[in-house]
Structure formats: C-alpha cells, structure tokens
C-alpha cells in the first residue's frame, strides 16, 4: 500500500497537473456550484464534458426483477416485464482522455443506470466502485477539493490536503484503501453512496444501500499488468465480452439495522447486514458514447414511487452538482 503522504500528493499533483490551477473563487455561490467551479479549476476546461467522471462509456441493457422483489419495494421496475436500461460506466476525475490507470482517477469507477419506466418516465441509480464515501457533506467535499488545489509542488509541509486527510479519518481511509484495476467494468462491483428508503405495497419501509455484483465474480489484474494495458481497457474489454453474450450483474440492497446511520455516507455498515436481491442487470449492447453522452443526466434523487432518498444531506448536493455540470456542458 502506498504511504499516506504519497496518496495525498498523488491526488493533489495529478489534479493540478491537469489544470495548472490552484483554487476557484466562488464565494457566495451555492456549495454545489462551488464544487463544480473547483473541479473545473483542478482538471481544466473540457467543453461539453462532465466536471467529474468525465471519461465514460455508454451501453444498453435490461433489468429483470427477482421473484418476490416487489415485497421489498413497490417500485414499478421490481415487478412485471424487464425494464430497458441505459448504463454509463466511468472513471473518476475531470479529464476525459485520462488512461484508466491515471492517478487523477483515484482508482474509483462509476456505474450510473437509467431505468426507462413503462409510463415514459425515468429513474436513476448512481453507484461507485468503493463502499463508502470520503466525506459526509457537500461542505466537506468542497473543503477537500480546495485543499487539493492549495497543495501544489511548493506548498509547505504538511500540505493542506495532508492536513485535511489527517483530520478526516473517513477520507484518509477512502484514499488509502487499495483499489486494484479490474479486468473490465464487467468484473467490478459497485456500491450505492447513499441510503434510500424502500417501501412496499403494505407500507412497510426499510432503509438500504445498493450493491451491484458481477455474476461472473469480480476479477482484477496485477499492478504490473495494469501498467501495460491500453488506456481504455476497462471499456474495451467489456465491449469484447459482449461478443459472447450479455454481461450480467445482480442488483441487491444491503438492509440497515435500526442503529445503522442513514445520514452519513462515510459510515460503512457491517457485512453482517442482510442483502436483499432485487434482480438482474444485463448489459447487452455498446452504444456510440460520443453521440449520446451529452444527452445523459443521472440524478441520485430521481427515483420512482416505492423508493425515497434518506436524510443523508449529500444526496441533494450530488444532485445539484450534477445538474450544474449538465447545464454547463450543454451550452
């Protein structure tokens, strides 16, 4: 495992190298707007590109509910016929051309899913490849980004990002946790950042977080092999797998205990908490990402009846930041 200092500096240096910038000045603006400003300052100007998770690949798929899944939630996609999906896999960071293994990605991948519901509406699900999140609020996320921006090559020790990570144990754990490179997006697992409230037809509610697990199992490559791979291997290998048939995942929910916090994304619940299987996600076709990319907006709060956001404050910040980024890249 890399040392605390090397991880902290890789975050700072890779972001700053991408932009040659320090901090964005956006006093008086909403936190979500400041977050997008700061990401744009760190990663540089990339027109028609997301502020974060800029590099992505888009696919079509279907969701088939598991038998009895509607007993957990009355969400329409948990009953009846399969639901069409649009799925976007991505790498963290704001540089759309960065190789999969570039330090600016932090080793974090994303899987965003858009359910196309029978009445013509949509519901979204936004997950990442790590269980938990580095901070619990939008304000702390902005503070982390500003600390990165202030931690250039000539910053005195300890640098602002080192100070931030030292005072925020969850962020320190998040960035120092080993993050091996998957064979493809199809062999990576994904986790919901936030808790949601799931309510069934009998009005019985439970809180839980999503988990998406590849049916074939997770599979990773060594650091040595990862360093030699083509820059877009995660997406290219998934596309190649589709030649043999759909790539499938199980969609599950980890159910919270009565004492588990639902308002803090940094708090990982114990593995002993039960998992409820909701159904199967099948990736069936690669799309022309460049043609559809700018039309796609995934919002964590865009849910359907039977699913509600929890009281986690960062859910709304995420939605507001994604919407702000979408508005800018649509111009």
Annotated catalytic residue, options 46, 48, 53, 168: 53
Burial of 119 (0-12, 13-18, 19+ CB in 10 A): exposed
Dihedral of CA atoms 62, 49, 316, 123 in degrees, nearest 10, equals -20
Would you give the end-to-end CA distance of the chain in angstroms?
Answer: 42
Peptide bond into 158 cis (omega under 30): yes
The sign of the CA dihedral 141, 147, 149, 153 is negative
Q: Is 172 a catalytic residue?
A: no
Cβ–Cβ < 8 Å for 113, 123:
no
Cβ–Cβ < 8 Å for 94, 43:
yes
Helices 160-167 and 169-176, interaxial angle, to 10°? 110
CA distance 300 to 312: 12
Burial of 153 (0-12, 13-18, 19+ CB in 10 A): exposed
**Catalytic residue annotation:** 53
């Amino acid at each position: 495992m890399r040392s605390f200092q090397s991880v902290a500096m890789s975050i700072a240096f890779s972001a700053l190298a991408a932009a040659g910038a320090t901090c964005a000045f956006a006093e008086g603006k909403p936190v979500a707007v400041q977050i997008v400003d700061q990401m744009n300052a760190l990663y540089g100007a990339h027109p028609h590109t997301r502020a974060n998770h800029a590099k992505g690949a888009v696919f079509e798929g279907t969701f088939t509910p598991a038998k009895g899944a509607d007993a957990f939630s009355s969400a329409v996609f948990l009953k009846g016929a399969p639901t069409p999906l649009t799925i976007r896999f991505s790498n963290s960071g704001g540089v759309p051309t960065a190789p999969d293994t570039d330090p600016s990605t932090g080793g974090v991948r994303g899987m965003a899913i858009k359910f196309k519901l029978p009445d013509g509406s949509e519901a979204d699900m936004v997950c990442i490849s790590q269980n938990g999140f580095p901070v619990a609020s939008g304000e702390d996320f902005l503070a982390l980004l500003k600390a990165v921006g202030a931690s250039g090559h000539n910053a005195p020790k300890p640098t602002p990002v080192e100070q931030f990570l030292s005072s925020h144990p969850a962020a320190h754990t998040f960035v120092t946790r080993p993050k091996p490179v998957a064979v493809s997006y199809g062999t990576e697992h994904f986790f919901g950042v936030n808790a949601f409230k799931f309510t069934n037809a009998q009005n019985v509610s439970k809180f839980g977080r999503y988990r998406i697990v590849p049916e074939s199992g997770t599979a990773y490559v060594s650091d040595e092999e990862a360093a030699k791979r083509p820059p877009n291997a995660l997406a290219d290998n998934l596309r190649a797998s589709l030649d043999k048939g759909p790539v499938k995942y199980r969609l599950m929910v980890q159910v919270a205990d009565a004492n588990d916090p639902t308002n803090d994304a940094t708090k990982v619940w114990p593995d002993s908490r039960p998992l409820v299987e909701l159904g199967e996600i099948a990736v069936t076709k690669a799309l022309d990402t460049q043609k559809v990319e700018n039309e796609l907006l995934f919002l964590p709060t865009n849910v359907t009846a039977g699913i509600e956001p929890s009281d986690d404050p960062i859910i709304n910040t995420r939605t507001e930041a994604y919407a702000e980024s979408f508005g800018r890249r649509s111009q």
